Amino acid sequence: MAFFKDTISGAHEPVPPPRDTSHGNAPRPTAPDAMRRPPERPEPRHESRAEPTIAAKESFLASDLTIEGKIEGAGHVKIAGRFKGDVHVQGNLTIDAGAHLTGQVRAKNVTVGGELHGNIDGAERVELSQSGVVVGDLKVGSLTVAAGSRMRGQVEFGWGDKGPPKQEQPRGNGSPA
């Protein structure tokens, strides 16, 4: 068996190393060199349409996991398993059907399809799905409750930063005391 250089196709010809172009009179690549090298293209840029302050990343706790601790961050969190501890995220929190969370919650939007034993404070929007159960107090901007969901606790919604209205004290009959 003989080894030889295939001069017709150039398929077995090794690609020469890049030439040093730091000197002004370096030779230019020949036509065969240029044909063998693929043109350099910039990497495609994927721009996110998410809000600039919140990364569009989501952390997921699988249904076969049980974790105890604390979750804090700027992304979104989806719980399908069991978690015991506080959840404070700047993104969204989703508690899937069959999931169980015991702890205090602070998130932008909260969707409860499983069970939450704890308070939700400062969320812009809370949605209780048909299978959702909440045992705790809610202080939220907007609340959506599906038929079949259950809740035990106090709810304040729709006030935003204004807070509840002040009640006026009853005035006397006008006679001096």
**What's the average model confidence in pLDDT over 106-131?**
97
Q: How many domains does the chain have?
A: 1
| CA–CA separation, 159 and 177 (whole Å) | 37
For residue 60, is pLDDT > 60? yes
129 contact partners, CB below 8 Å, separation of at least 6: 97, 111, 112, 113, 146, 149
At 18, the pLDDT band (50, 70, 90 cuts) reads low
| CA–CA separation, 67 and 39 (whole Å) | 50
pLDDT confidence of residue 55: 46
pLDDT confidence of residue 166: 64
**What's the average model confidence in pLDDT over 79-99?**
96
**What's the average model confidence in pLDDT over 141-164?**
88
Does the residue 6 lie in any domain?
Answer: no
Does the residue 151 lie in any domain?
Answer: yes
Does the residue 133 lie in any domain?
Answer: yes
**What's the average model confidence in pLDDT over 8-18?**
55
pLDDT confidence of residue 2: 52
**What's the average model confidence in pLDDT over 38-59?**
55
Least confidently predicted of 43-57, 73-87, 115-129: 43-57
**What's the average model confidence in pLDDT over 149-159?**
94
Q: Which H helix or E strand runs over 32?
A: helix 31-36
Mean of per-residue pLDDT scores for the chain: 78
Which sign does the torsion angle of CA 11, 14, 16, 17 carry?
positive
Domain containing residue 81: 77-157
pLDDT tens digits, one per residue of 158-174: 876 665 566 665 555 55
Does the residue 43 lie in any domain?
Answer: no
For residue 58, is pLDDT > 60? yes
Does the residue 64 lie in any domain?
Answer: no
Q: Which is more confidently placed, 52 or 98?
A: 98
| CA–CA separation, 118 and 112 (whole Å) | 12
Residue with tokens 């069959």: 98
Does the residue 21 lie in any domain?
Answer: no
According to DSSP, the β-strands at 92-95 and 120-128 are: unpaired
Q: Which H helix or E strand runs over 31?
A: helix 31-36
Does the residue 34 lie in any domain?
Answer: no
**What's the average model confidence in pLDDT over 20-46?**
55
Residue 97 near residue 113, CB atoms below 8 Å: yes
Does the residue 84 lie in any domain?
Answer: yes
For residue 20, is pLDDT > 80? no
| CA–CA separation, 81 and 7 (whole Å) | 64
Q: How many helices (H) and strands (E) does the chain have?
A: 1, 16
- Report the SS3 class of residue 76: strand
